[in-house]
Structure 1
Amino acid sequence: MAAKMSFLLCLMQGVRCGDWNVSVPETVEVMAGSLLTLPCVRCGDWSVSVPQTVEVMAGSLLTLPCVFEIPSQFEKDLNSKCITKWESKEPSTSRSKLMAAIKTTGDVTKKNCTTTFDNLCPHHSDTYYFRLECSNPLVWSFKDTLVNLVVKDSPKDTRVSASPSGPVPENTAVTLTCSSDANPPVKNYTWYRADGHQETVIGTGRVLTIKASTVSRFFFCKAGNDLGDGRSESYEVDVQFPPQILLPSGCTKTADQLNCSCQSTGNPSPSLHWYLDGQHVNQSGKFVVSTDSSNDKHVRSIITVNQPLERNLSTLVCRSFNHLGTSSLRFNINNLQISAECKDPVLLLVLVIKSATLLGLGCVLVFFIRALNKHYNSRSQITNRTITSAAAGNRQTGAEDEVLNTPDDSIYYNNIELSTLS
């Protein structure tokens, strides 16, 4: 954001030589990249001239004007190797030194401590003093003259914290707190519940208390001030709950195999075990058990029983458990019909593929039979035409003979019939 540069300059107060005093304007507001100019009256004792307050937008380039004076006996120690620093009034804070891309643009040998700060952030807002360090007796902190640096910005680093912060049982009260770094301070907080792609406003204020639920677990907040808004990442409340058996869970039975599927969800992730006629089923040649997990809360298990008709089976139980409880699903094996409808998607897919394969083979066989019939009919028609043509020729010859030999009518008639039959 570009802000109009304005200077609120006061008349310089006279510096009394021999005291540690300074001449400064009270407040200066600058825009990014602006250069402040500050006159200073030099005298022969420890003094520094800097603005008392500087306000700047985050990310700005700030050039802070600074001139200083030292006692005459230290003039010989002032050289180009001297270092200028800006340190916090409260050294116990994490930002005891202002180190944001510091570059001294003034000539220290001429007692000019003008400094440039790049990419300032809100956490740089603090009260600082100037310090001069040379590799000799000339070392001094001008603690009596302070600069109040105010870095303005919209809310940044917006985040959600929870109490209690770890896994909580379902229906437990959880307190959510929204925090953000902003200057000026945050004016309003808004809370949202995230349900997939849908976001619903559920409250306002920095603190929100909710009831832990397996249905709604994701929340985020927005913090706003006069310069803009900041949004937090989604926060997931880690809700623990006992296992639940999910649909689809079911069985399919053939003459050779019994296939059953069981799905469960829980937090912590549940374990799945199979029990056949009350006995725990272990992996063997007659029992094949496979288990997989799609995430840390869902688990799925499939059991295959080979040659089920040779066994006196009655009930099969899928049991899911974690430390919060158990859940079971009982399958009545005796009531299952052979080749019954498969309710499990994977088993259903296998049956569909097998059915499609058999159907395809049937279609190929029908096409082949039809092709053979067509070929056979074509050859039959050719043969019939040949026989018909021969018979017609015989009838024509007989007619001519009848005209020439009328008395032997019956003889030629018999010849025609015999010829036709032959």
Structure 2
Amino acid sequence: MSVFQIMSFIIIIISSVFLHTHSADNLYSAVMPQTVTALTGSCVQIPCTFTISHFKDKCNKAKSINGIWLKNKSKFADTDSLIVFNSSENIIRGFSDIEMTGDLSERNCTTVFYNLMKNHSDLYYFRLEMEPDVFKATFFLDQAKSTDSKKTVKITVIDSPQPLILKPTDLKEVMENTTVNLNCSAEAPCPKHPPTISWSNIPESAHITTQLQEKPDKTQSVFSHMTFKASYMDHRRNISCTATYPRNTPDDSTVKTTVMLRVLFPPKETRITINPSASVSVGTNVTLTCRSKASPSNDMNYTWYKRGQEMPIARGKKISFIVTNTVLYFCVVQNKYGSQSSAEIQLTVKVTDISQDMGPDRHSMPMIAGCVGGIVAVLTLSALGFCVRTRTKTHRGDNVGEKISSNQAQDETIDRNSTYANVLTVTNQGQQDL
């Protein structure tokens, strides 16, 4: 190898090291979410961190470190660029307030924009200046990765909150007595005024915890976790999660989501209903219906039994028959998860009331009996009177004469007339009452 070639090789190596050192000395990048969604009348926090090569050395040289936010354009020197925030000059343009909550000396550029309106939706670029002339750059490119990777943030302002995330979204196969976990999360673009989460129509055994959580992109959300033990009484229960967002508007903004709880369980609350009633007359047609709660309910089997008989008497939800005697019945319901027997019911045969079969004339029976009794009494008294008078006439003898006989005849005539009069009166009275 000639001396010229050796010298050329050495120059190339030195140049390569110099270029590498120079480029390494100017490496910088920022990490922030690609987009954040804010609610009108509220605030939005942009989590932001940055990396600069030899940052500590630069901090020792710099007298001040300032953060700047530009809207729409990344070129700081352009005359039409809009600087909405500059910490060095305490500049805030187009916003009611902007606060840089991060510590720039710790490579934290987190910033909060307050009271956002729809016209604030745009691209925003962060710029760092370390004076005097130590470091100045706008973090619109990720120099450490690719020149095509833009590191800026897009703020989107909306009037209504984003939908809640409720997981799991469908509870199709929750077995009875198993533990259920429900998670509801709501975006919290303004962590200083986060939304509140509330649950409605929850099971009695529910336990709820709620906290503010940080997501991988450093934005935050409110996370609420509910756990409970599934009961058959919770089947088809609609459980709702609601997030309420405070903001500088007349009303708070709310968003709600609901999930239906489906519980699988064996038959419960099995019972028998009777039509027309449990107390019937012989020959009455009766229908018994077996009722029960179960899930699933489309594969339920019904079996009927009489007390004292091991073999079933019928199958199906309803049975109908004519009552002949007093009997005890019960039914058994079964699905794929189990079975349950109902309580026994007794069909009682009523004794027929004869007086009821006599119809409306049964009320006249006491009156008829009274009339007959009255007639018998009158006839008895008349007979006794006649006997007494006959005996008196015998004791007086034949000397009484024609006068006495005539009087006796008159008396007997009067007595007979009197008797007939009494019988007619009672009879008439009886006829009137009838």
Q: Which category describes the TM-score, using the shorter chain as reference length? A: 0.3 to 0.5
* TM-score, with structure 2 as normaliser: 0.39
Larger relative contact order, structure 1 or 2 (CA cutoff 8 Å, min sep 6):
2
Which has the greater radius of gyration?
2
